[in-house]
Structure 1
Amino acid sequence: MLDREGYRPNVGIIITNERNEVFWGKRVREHSWQFPQGGIKPGESPEAAMYRELMEEVGLLPHHVKIIGRTRDWLRYDVPTHWVKREWRGSYKGQKQIWYLLRLVGRESDVHLRATHHPEFDAWRWHQYWAPIDEVIDFKRDVYIGALQELSRFLHELQSWDYFLQHQETESSTK
């Protein structure tokens, strides 16, 4: 299901722990990492899609997490043409996403990457809140910046994006 502009409705999920670190998943048989995300089915609300994708990709149920916040509007990214299936070229541009910020209130052992027959991730780790911006595939970077910046207001005692950037520059100049 695409909107009039060629974007597929989707949800993005940022799961945090009590230290404001984020769940960072390694895609199956790839060397790329990302946040959980997935399409919204016709007639499905973004929140219902988020809970479905959370269970399918991470194995977590609603009682394992608490919704802390969500983005106000859709955030969009274009998929490079060479990544688009031939039959979709010309109509499909990319994804439009509503992002959710969740707190894990269950245990880490509740994470079950093989909850379905088609797992999305084969490994995961906790990561610094801002670090995924530098590690995600280029065409998703602006959406990650937008989502993390907008949702950061819901977290207390979190270093700012500017502080993180300055710290990264200082760290790399001392190496």
Structure 2
Amino acid sequence: MLDREGFRPNVGIVLLNHRNQVFWGKRIRTHSWQFPQGGINYGETPEQAMYRELHEEVGLNPEHVRIVARTRDWLRYEVPQNFIRRDARGHYRGQKQIWFLLQLIGRDCDMNLRATDHPEFDAWRWNEYWIPLDVVIEFKRDVYQMALTELARFLPRNAQHNRYLRSGMRTHHRDDAPRQNGRAEAPALNGKPRLDAPAGPPPTVVVPPSVVAQDAAVAGPRR
């Protein structure tokens, strides 16, 4: 479903944990990391599409999250021609998105990347709020900048890492290792895994490679 200008209606999701870190998912069988996003089906509202995509891609239900804010207007980005299927060229230009800021009120273990038969991600991790701007594919960067900037003023102010957000600094550390298929890797206690162990000093994040030929934004099924 495209509008008259060739943009597909879409939703983007910024999911926060209690530290104001954001969910960052790795596209299945690629080295591409991104926020959850997906198209709005005919007859859906943006909010309905957001909850559907949240379950399909992350495995969360409405009771697991709270809507904190959403962008006021559509944010658009164009997709380069070499990322568009040949049969869609000339009609499809890119995505127009409404972005939602969600607070996770459930637990990490509520996430399930295999909630459907067509998973989008095969690993995930928590990142500091601004890090996605440094690692997202270039043609999405302006939209990420606009969405994160607009939504940042709604961030909870009692989170541990808000000093970075208030000062405008970006930190390149993270507290959690990537989760494979939605399961967290926990620190060990006496040589045995311990799921409730507190995280140690955050390691430096390894910035993933740039997106290669496939990207979630291209004109293709579901995305």
Q: TM-score, normalised by structure 1?
A: 0.92
For structure 1, which runs of at least 5 residues remain unmatched after alignment? 169-175
SS in 2 for 1:56: helix
Q: Distance in 1 between matches of 2:148 and 2:23?
A: 13
Q: Distance in 2 between matches of 1:67 and 1:12?
A: 13
Cα offset, 1:163, TM superposition:
2.6
SS in 2 for 1:154: coil
User: Of residues 164, 169, 177 in structure 2, which corresponds to 1:164?
Assistant: 169
Q: Distance in 2 between matches of 1:163 and 1:73?
A: 24
> Residue 107 of structure 1 aligns with which residue?
107
SS in 2 for 1:97: strand
Q: Does 1:135 align with 2:105?
A: no
Cα offset, 1:164, TM superposition:
1.8
> Residue 187 of structure 2 aligns with which residue?
none
Deviations 1:12-63 (A, max 9, x none): 0000001000000000011010000000001100000000000000000000
Check conservation: 1:55, 1:61, Cα contact below 8 A: yes
> Residue 122 of structure 2 aligns with which residue?
122
Q: Which has the larger share of helix?
A: 1
Check conservation: 1:10, 1:39, Cα contact below 8 A: yes
Runs of 4+ in 1 over 6 A off after TM superposition: none
**Counterparts in 2 of 1:6-21, with a 5 A limit?**
6-21=6-21
SS in 1 for 2:4: coil
1:143–1:162 CA distance, 2 compared to 1 (3 A): farther
Taking only aligned residues, the RMSD between alpha carbons, in angstroms, comes to 1.3
For structure 2, which runs of at least 5 residues remain unmatched after alignment? 173-223
**Counterparts in 2 of 1:33-112, with a 5 A limit?**
33-112=33-112
Name the aligned partner's letter for residue 29 of structure 1. Answer: R
Deviations 1:118-148 (A, max 9, x none): 1000000000000001111111000000000
SS in 1 for 2:153: helix
Q: TM-score, normalised by structure 2?
A: 0.73
Deviations 1:148-167 (A, max 9, x none): 000001013333486325x6
Check conservation: 1:59, 1:110, Cα contact below 8 A: yes
Name the aligned partner's letter for residue 106 of structure 1. Answer: G
Q: Distance in 1 between matches of 2:109 and 2:118?
A: 20
State which drifts further: 39-48 or 152-161.
152-161
SS in 1 for 2:9: strand
Structure ID, larger Rg:
2
> Residue 175 of structure 2 aligns with which residue?
none
1:146–1:162 CA distance, 2 compared to 1 (3 A): farther
Q: Distance in 1 between matches of 2:69 and 2:142?
A: 19
Deviations 1:54-112 (A, max 9, x none): 00000000000000000000000111101111111001000000000000000100000
